[in-house]
Chains A and B, each alone.
Chain A
Amino acid sequence: MALPFTYHWRNLFVRKTTTLLTVLVIAAVVGTLAWVLGFGAALAGSLAVAGDEQTIIVIRRGANSEGASAVPVADFNKLNQLADLARDPASDQPLLSPEMLVQVSLPRLRDRGRTSANVAVRGVTDAAFRVHRTVRLSGRTFSTGASEVIVGVRAAQQFAGLQIGDTLNLGFSDNRVYKVVGFFTAAGGPLESEIWGDLPTLLSAYNRTMYSAASLRIRDGADAASVIKEIEGPAIDLSAQTEKGYWSGQTSQVRIYLAIVAALVLVMAVAAAFSIANTMFAHVAGRMREIAMLRTIGFGGRQILLGFLLEAVLLALLGGLVGCLACALWLEAIGHTKDMYGSGTFTTLAFDIRLTPAIVGLALAAVALVGAVGALVPAWRAARVQVIAALREG
């Protein structure tokens, strides 16, 4: 028979101060952990959505990002000859999108405009909406030939002056006034950090004759690797990557940052485990006679061991809940947005950090594990109490 649950629950509150202090230590660690997991999930979510193996991004050989690339129209047209290019079933148009990438410096809302960031502006045609299948409009799109733009929801959330009806200055000398007419989502992908406008008007606004890049979809069942090989071959001689490969390259900086924070949290988790061990040792030491009594009335060593592990896990979970709550409050109060530059560009990728049930679950599971690890040795010691000696003591 296992020890009753209430026995452990009530034991936590026998030493209120010690329990409270330990719970707070764990809460501090879990709060940080939950933030890291939230950021990691935002990054992974954004990459998973970008991870379309059927979409290929084509840039100029030697360029390291769409923004630094220049593709002459003649070179772009060569892409039409690709055998594996997918076609729109309705119009039989090839799913090939010419795109231009520039940037505009906008103040961050997070610090009330103290700093600004470069937001990507992508000039597109109708084809872009067929190639980037995740893009969904909310509101209307820009009219062809008009000085209008639509804004990704992440960008609208994080930078000033991107609400519907606002105007922003674009163009080679910043002198063309564009009006925001709609928002779009891209299922959480990196395109949501961008501003989209009409390609021909943007080309003229920036005095350009070349596209920056091209995006294309390949036929279902076609092999991306062989298409890339064809694009990089002598007939076309451009550089190509799957959309997934391109964006995971662009986010390497973000991943380094996350890895550093995760390493720090790991160190803190080790400290929390030691702190739990410390508390549990004190619990065990203070309850020697009680444990001996439990043994005397027939509870086995294993039950005692499991019982103390359970107690530590309860303690850890309590701290975990407080920590998650603190993290949620922090995100609410300080802000849940974060943006970082892509590694090959000077344009920003915006992230929205949210505590989802999955993240809370993961954080609690991790902290329960930390609690169990910390309590292992003290619980083992409790299970091996010498009954006679402990009863006689004191």
Chain B
Amino acid sequence: MTLSYVLMQNLRRNPLRTALTGVAFALPMAIFVLAISTVVMLTKTAARIEQQLRLAVHHKAGITAFMPEGMRRKIEDLDPNRQRLLAVCAMRWFGGRIPDTPNPLMSLACDVDTFPTVYQDVPMTAAEVEQWQHERRAAVVGDGAANQYGWTPGSRVVLDSTIPPYQRLEFIVVKIIPNASPPNAFYLRRDYLLESLQARGLTGTGCNIFWVKCRSAAALRTLQKDIDALFANSPDETRSEDENAFIAGFIEALGDIPGLARVMATVVVFIIALVAGNTMMMSFRERIRELAVFKAIGFPSSRVFLIVLSESLLLALFGSLVGIALGVGFLLVPWHNPHSESISAPEVSWIAVLGSLAIGLTVGLVAGLWPAYQAVRLRTTDALRQVV
């Protein structure tokens, strides 16, 4: 009589309970997979962003305040030999949306010369850079928006601005950003926007943000201090943050999804531990006499311990696998809204899957420990005499 035989018999004896436990374990497990996938995705995005060594310089009053475009030169002059910084790209918020719809795009007007350098993570080929530089109406767009509206390189796109003076502009897509974050990013040329503003008699040279591409993490830290010191006590005091810190405020304002994911993951682990523990206590109680018989016919305590413990583990494995399948299935369904201002869509990651499995098995192990210990402590004669 092998261990696996005993285990399968035990799980099959009360198929209803096995099924109920399985479902009660699998559903929270599915949530756990989703929560962990979100955390893994955010961590990966943060790590990717950190590598880009970009510093966001905006007005101390907030990102909607304008700063004069000449500040770019002042920032560049901090490091004339380009020891610490690679390039500075000024941006102005365009606030575009698809005409006659409420669908917004995260659209920003950027300096034409430095955009490809500062956004090296948008892998533009030499030909694409050339197009960006020669076509005034050029736009570099995120894949989410491109898929949603069926844009391909060369598409003509019309956007309405939702901020004064609410002008309508036409663009030509020159590049689609793979795995864009956010998926609805839309970069246009600042000189093109400026031209359209000047045609209306407006100046419009103000910028909302300067992106400073740095050479190293150490350079980023010193530049952060130097830039804020440079503009201190000027009419345009700045606040410089690395890109992750800059994004953190937005993530928080979109409902603190990482915090939610962490809380959910904790609650859910708590639930599955209790569900598994409950089932193991119940099945142990019902089988006290049977375990006593095992001991009476000469099974060593270690074997009895193992039988109870591995049953718990098997149950947890079963529940985890079903839960992981549910969670992964949910993630694979392509229903993510490209308008959602999420940083990027959560994806299935091996870390999340293996992590979930490990947590599930740990829970099974812990849940089985107490009943298994009870089984070892069982006094054979008492248990056999006991009438349940």
Please list the residues of chain A having a beta carbon within 8 angstroms of any beta carbon in chain B: 15, 17-18, 21-22, 24-25, 28-29, 31-32, 60-65, 67-70, 102-105, 108, 111, 114-118, 169-175, 253-254, 256-257, 261, 264, 267-268, 270-272, 274-275, 277-279, 281-282, 285-286, 338-341, 344, 346, 348, 394
Contact = CB atoms under 8 A, between A and B. Distances in A.
A63 B274 contact: no
A351 B281 CA distance: 43
Interface in B274-315: 274-275, 277-279, 281-282, 285-286
B173 to A, nearest CB: 23
A253 B341 contact: yes
A68 B162 contact: yes
B150 interface: no
B61 A341 contact: no
B282 A18 contact: yes
Top 5 A-B pairs, shortest CB-CB distance: A62-B166, A105-B62, A173-B235, A274-B24, A21-B278
Given A174-B237, A261-B260, A115 B252 contact: yes
- Chain A CB within 10 Å, residue with most, of B23, B27, B281: B27
A116 to B, nearest CB: 6
Given A60-B166, A63-B163, A394-B387, A108 B252 contact: yes
Interface stretch (B77-85, B137-145, B265-273): B265-273
A278 B271 contact: no
Given A175-B235, A278-B24, A105 B61 contact: yes
Interface stretch (B14-22, B47-55, B127-135, B182-190): B14-22
5 contacts: A24-B270, A68-B164, A264-B34, A275-B274, A278-B21
Instruction: Classify the interface of chain A: helix, strand, loop or mixed.
Output: mixed
A140 B16 CA distance: 68
Size band of the interface chain B makes with A: 35 or more
B104 interface: yes
A271 B166 contact: no
B249 A63 contact: no
Contacts of B30: 267
Which of A115, A257, A394 has the most C-beta atoms of chain B within 10 angstroms of its own C-beta? A115
Contacts of B163: 63, 68
Given A61-B166, A105-B61, A271 B282 contact: no
A200 B69 CA distance: 28
Interface string B14-49: 001100110111011011001000000000000000
A277 B102 CA distance: 47
A20 to B, nearest CB: 9
A278 B20 contact: yes
B264 interface: yes
Interface of B: 16-17, 20-21, 23-25, 27-28, 30-31, 34, 59-65, 95, 97, 102, 104, 160-166, 235-237, 239, 248-250, 252-256, 260, 264, 267-268, 270-271, 274-275, 277-279, 281-282, 285-286, 340-341, 387-388
Contacts of A275: 20, 24, 274-275, 278
Given A60-B164, A103-B64, 14 more contacts: A62-B162, A64-B97, A68-B162, A68-B163, A70-B164, A103-B62, A118-B62, A253-B255, A267-B30, A271-B23, A272-B271, A278-B24, A338-B256, A348-B253
Contacts of A169: 60-61
B340 A256 contact: yes
Contact of A281 (B16, B23, B62): B16
Given A61-B166, A173-B61, A174-B65, A267 B253 contact: no
Nearest to A65: B162
Chain B CB within 10 A, most for which of A21, A257, A346: A21
Contacts of B250: 341
B237 A117 contact: no
B282 A64 contact: no
Contacts of A117: 249, 252-253
A344 B340 CA distance: 12
Contacts of B95: 68
Contacts of A69: 164
Nearest to A116: B249
A104 B62 CA distance: 6
A340 B260 CA distance: 13
B92 to A, nearest CB: 14
Q: Which residue of B21, B60, B63, B64 has the most chain A CB atoms within 10 A of its CB atom?
A: B64
Contact of A257 (B255, B270, B281): B255
A64 B93 CA distance: 14
Contacts of B23: 270-271, 274
